[in-house]
Amino acid sequence: MRSILLQFLAASFEIAGCFAFWAWLRLGKSALWTLPGTLSLILFAFVLTRIDSVAAGRAFAAYGGVYIAASLVWLWAVERQAPDRWDLTGAAICLVGAAIILLGPRATAG
pTM over 0.85: no
In a domain, 108, yes or no: no
In a domain, 109, yes or no: no
Q: Which domain holds residue 25?
A: 2-103
Query: Tell me: the pLDDT tens digits for 68-104?
Result: 999 999 999 999 999 999 999 999 999 999 889 888 8
Rounded distance between C-alpha atoms, residue 53 and residue 50, angstroms: 9
In a domain, 86, yes or no: yes
Cα distances (angstroms) measured from residue 36 to each of 32, 72, 77, 79? 8, 22, 19, 19
In a domain, 110, yes or no: no
In a domain, 24, yes or no: yes
Count the domains in the chain.
1
